[in-house]
C-alpha cells in the first residue's frame, strides 16, 4: 500500500513497548513456588513425626510382650526355660499367624512358639543385647518381620538366654501407607487451595492497576480530562503525578496556543499596514516597511524569548547559582557602559530554581536598563527571603513614576524614547519570572534615589 493510500487523520501507530512478562503470572509463580517449598517441607516433617509415632507404638507392643515373657520365665529341673503362665495372645498358638516368640540359649535347643511351627527365628550369638533391641528381618519369604530381642540371665541358670518377639510388619506398613496417602491428598488439596487463593489475591490486588489502565486509555481517547476515582494508597501518589503531568501538558499546550495567537495578532497589524501602503503605492513605503518590520522584530524577539523559557522550564531539577550569573552580567555591562559603576553585595551561596540562561537574560535586561537609564551608579544585592531568592537592582536615575510602574511592563511601552531599545526588556523579565513562579516589581531606591527592581525567584533546596 502506498503512502497516499493511508487514511488522512488516522491515529499514529502505537510505539512498540517490549513486555517482560505478566506481573500476575510472576506473582502467582512466586507464590506457588513458595507454597510448594513450605508444604513439601511441612509434609516431610509431619510424615517423619507420624511414621516415627506409629513405629514407636508398634515397638512398644513388642516390648510389652517381651517383658511379659521375661517376667513369667523360669528354669525347669533340666535347666531349660519354662513359663509360669501362658501368653494370652491367641496368635501365638496359630501356625504362621504373624506373631511369634522364641527363647534360645547356648547349648540348648531353641524354644519357639507354636505359631512358628517348623521355623526358627535367627539369633545372632556374636553380639549381646542386654537392652531391648529392635530391627527388621526378611528371613521368612513373603513376610517382613519386626523383631524385638533381649538377653537375660535367669536366676538359677548359668546360661544367658535370648528372648525374641517378632511380628509381621504388614500392619505397620499398611498404617504408614494409609497415613502417607492421607498426607499427600491433604497437602495437595491444601496447596491447590493456596495457589487458587494466591491467584484470586493477585487478580483482586491488581484490579486497581487494570482500572488505572482503562482510565489512562479514556484520557488518551479524550473521553476524560483527568484520572478520576479512588485509588489505593500505593497508586494514589502515581495518579496524582499523572494528573499533575496532564495538567502541566494542558497548560503548556494552552500557553503555546495563546502565544501563537498573540504573535499572529501582533504581526497582523504591521503586515496590514505594509500591504495597504504597498497596494496604494505610497511615497513613504520604504519608511513604513522599516518601521513596521522593526515592530514585528520586537514581537518575534519577545515571543522567542518566552518560548525558550517555557521549553527550559520543563526540567524539575533546574538550578542556577545566583552569584556567578551576577558577575557574568556585571562584566558584560561594564564593557558596554564603561562610564557606569556597578557595585554588588549579598550572599554568595544562593541558588534559585531556574535555568542559568533564563537567569542571565533577566539579569542582563535589568542591569542594562539600570546602566542605560541611570545616572552612572548601579547597585546589585542578592539575599534570601522566606524560601525565595531576592535580587535587587538599583540605579541613581530619575526613576519611574508610581502611576507608570504597572504600564511599563506592557510590551513595547517605553517612557524614554530618546534612547535606543525595543520596550520589551521588562516584559520579558516579568513573563520569564512568572514561568518559574517568581515575581518582579518596581519600587523607589532609598539609597540611590532612582529605580529599584525587586526580582523574586524560588530558592532551590
> What pLDDT, in 10s, does the model give residues 221-268?
888 888 887 888 888 888 888 888 888 788 777 777 776 766 676 677
CA 208 to chain centre: 16
* Per-residue model confidence as pLDDT tens digits over 328-364: 888 888 888 888 898 999 888 899 988 888 888 889 8
Both 305 and 345 in one domain: the answer is no
| Confidence band for 14, pLDDT divided at 50, 70 and 90 | low
Residues spanned by the domain of 90: 20-205
> Pick from 335, 302, 336: which is nearest to 419 by CA?
336
User: Residues 439, 441, 446, CA angle at the centre, nearest 5°?
Assistant: 135
Decide: 123 and 164 in contact? Cβ < 8 Å: yes
Report the distance separating Cα 44 and Cα 52, nearest Å.
Answer: 12
Both 352 and 433 in one domain: the answer is yes
Residue 105 in any domain: the answer is: yes
pTM given for the model: 0.53
Strand 377-385 relative to strand 341-346, pairing: parallel
What local confidence, expressed as pLDDT, does residue 10 receive?
A: 46
Both 304 and 320 in one domain: the answer is no
100 is written with which cell numbers? Answer: 511369634
Report the distance separating Cα 43 and Cα 11, nearest Å.
Answer: 58
Both 421 and 327 in one domain: the answer is yes
Both 394 and 304 in one domain: the answer is no
Residue 272 in any domain: the answer is: yes
Report the distance separating Cα 426 and Cα 412, nearest Å.
Answer: 10
Residue 26 in any domain: the answer is: yes
Q: Is the pLDDT of residue 208 over 90?
A: no
| Confidence band for 308, pLDDT divided at 50, 70 and 90 | low
CATH number, domain with residue 332: 3.30.565.10
Both 303 and 323 in one domain: the answer is no
Ramachandran bin of 229, using left for φ above 0, alpha for ψ from -120 to 50, beta for the remaining angles: left
Share of the chain above pLDDT 70, in %: 86
Decide: 145 and 168 in contact? Cβ < 8 Å: yes
Report the distance separating Cα 182 and Cα 190, nearest Å.
Answer: 12
Residue 36 in any domain: the answer is: yes
Both 82 and 140 in one domain: the answer is yes
What local confidence, expressed as pLDDT, does residue 45 receive?
A: 94
What local confidence, expressed as pLDDT, does residue 185 receive?
A: 94
- Residue where a domain terminates, one of 289, 310, 331: 310
* Per-residue model confidence as pLDDT tens digits over 61-72: 999 999 999 999
**37-49 b/e (C-beta count within 10 Å ≥ 16 → b):** eebeeebeeebee
Residue 120 in any domain: the answer is: yes
Decide: 411 and 306 in contact? Cβ < 8 Å: no
Beta strands, E only, 233-355: 320-321, 341-346, 351-352
Q: Domain total for the chain?
A: 3
Residue 25 in any domain: the answer is: yes
- Collapse the DSSP code of 27 into the 3-class scheme (helix H, G, I; strand E, B; otherwise coil) and give the result: helix
Decide: 330 and 359 in contact? Cβ < 8 Å: no
What local confidence, expressed as pLDDT, does residue 142 receive?
A: 85
> Pick from 385, 367, 380: which is nearest to 438 by CA?
385
- Residue where a domain terminates, one of 282, 310, 338: 310
Could you identify the residue written with the cell 512466586? 30
Residue 229 in any domain: the answer is: no
Both 41 and 175 in one domain: the answer is yes
Decide: 428 and 259 in contact? Cβ < 8 Å: no
Q: Is the pLDDT of residue 282 over 70?
A: yes
What local confidence, expressed as pLDDT, does residue 412 receive?
A: 44
- Residue where a domain terminates, one of 310, 338, 353: 310
What local confidence, expressed as pLDDT, does residue 17 receive?
A: 59
Report the distance separating Cα 321 and Cα 5, nearest Å.
Answer: 55
Could you identify the residue written with the cell 542582563? 364
Both 303 and 325 in one domain: the answer is no
Both 258 and 407 in one domain: the answer is no
Could you identify the residue written with the cell 511592563? 409
DSSP states of 86-148 as a string?
--S-GGGGSTT-SEEEEEEETTS--EE-GGGTT------TTS--SS-EEEEEEEETTEEEEEE
Report the distance separating Cα 436 and Cα 309, nearest Å.
Answer: 9
Both 67 and 185 in one domain: the answer is yes
Per-range mean pLDDT, top range of 76-90, 155-169, 206-220: 155-169
Residue 324 in any domain: the answer is: yes
DSSP H or E stretch at residue 101: strand 99-105
Both 44 and 151 in one domain: the answer is yes
* Per-residue model confidence as pLDDT tens digits over 365-394: 899 888 888 888 999 999 998 889 999 999
Amino acid at each position: 500500500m502506498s503512502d497516499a493510500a493511508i487514511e488522512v487523520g488516522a491515529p499514529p501507530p502505537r510505539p512498540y513497548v517490549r513486555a517482560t512478562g505478566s506481573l500476575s503470572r510472576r506473582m502467582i509463580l512466586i507464590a506457588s513456588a513458595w507454597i510448594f517449598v513450605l508444604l513439601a517441607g511441612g509434609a516431610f516433617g509431619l510424615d517423619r513425626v507420624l511414621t516415627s509415632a506409629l513405629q514407636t507404638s508398634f515397638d512398644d507392643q513388642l516390648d510389652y510382650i517381651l517383658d511379659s515373657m521375661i517376667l513369667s520365665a523360669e528354669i525347669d529341673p533340666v535347666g531349660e526355660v519354662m513359663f509360669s503362665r501362658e501368653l494370652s495372645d491367641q496368635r501365638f498358638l496359630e501356625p504362621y499367624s504373624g506373631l511369634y516368640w522364641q527363647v534360645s540359649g547356648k547349648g540348648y535347643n531353641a524354644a519357639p512358639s507354636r505359631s512358628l511351627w517348623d521355623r526358627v527365628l535367627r539369633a545372632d550369638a556374636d553380639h549381646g543385647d542386654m537392652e531391648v533391641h529392635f530391627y527388621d528381618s526378611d528371613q521368612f519369604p513373603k513376610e517382613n518381620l519386626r523383631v524385638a530381642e533381649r538377653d537375660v540371665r535367669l536366676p538359677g541358670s548359668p546360661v544367658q538366654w535370648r528372648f525374641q518377639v517378632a511380628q509381621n510388619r504388614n500392619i505397620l506398613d499398611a498404617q504408614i501407607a494409609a497415613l502417607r496417602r492421607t498426607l499427600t491428598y491433604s497437602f495437595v488439596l491444601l496447596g491447590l487451595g493456596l495457589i487458587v487463593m494466591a491467584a484470586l489475591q493477585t487478580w483482586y490486588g491488581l484490579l486497581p492497576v487494570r482500572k488505572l489502565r482503562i482510565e489512562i486509555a479514556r484520557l488518551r481517547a479524550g473521553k476524560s480530562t483527568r484520572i478520576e476515582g479512588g485509588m489505593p494508597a500505593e497508586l494514589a501518589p502515581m495518579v496524582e503525578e499523572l494528573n499533575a503531568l496532564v495538567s502541566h501538558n494542558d497548560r503548556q499546550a494552552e500557553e503555546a496556543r495563546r502565544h501563537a495567537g498573540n504573535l499572529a495578532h501582533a504581526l497582523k497589524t504591521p503586515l496590514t499596514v505594509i500591504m495597504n501602503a504597498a497596494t496604494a503605492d505610497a511615497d513613504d513605503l520604504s519608511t513604513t516597511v522599516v518601521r513596521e518590520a522593526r515592530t514585528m522584530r520586537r514581537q518575534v524577539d519577545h515571543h522567542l524569548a518566552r518560548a525558550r523559557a517555557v521549553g527550559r522550564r520543563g526540567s524539575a531539577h533546574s538550578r542556577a547559582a545566583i552569584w556567578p550569573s551576577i558577575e557574568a552580567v556585571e562584566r558584560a555591562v561594564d564593557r558596554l557602559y564603561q562610564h557606569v559603576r556597578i557595585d554588588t553585595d549579598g550572599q554568595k551561596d544562593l541558588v534559585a530554581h531556574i535555568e542559568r540562561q533564563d537567569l542571565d537574560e533577566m539579569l542582563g535586561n535589568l542591569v542594562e536598563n539600570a546602566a542605560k537609564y541611570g545616572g552612572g551608579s548601579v547597585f546589585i544585592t542578592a539575599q534570601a527571603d522566606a524560601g525565595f531568592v531576592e535580587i535587587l537592582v538599583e540605579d541613581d536615575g530619575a526613576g519611574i513614576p508610581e502611576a507608570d510602574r504597572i504600564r511599563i511592563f506592557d510590551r513595547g511601552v517605553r517612557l524614554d524614547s530618546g534612547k535606543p531599545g525595543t520596550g520589551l526588556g521588562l516584559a520579558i523579565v516579568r513573563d520569564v519570572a512568572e514561568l518559574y513562579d517568581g515575581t518582579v516589581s518596581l519600587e523607589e531606591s532609598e539609597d540611590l534615589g532612582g529605580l529599584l527592581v525587586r526580582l523574586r525567584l524560588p530558592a532551590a533546596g
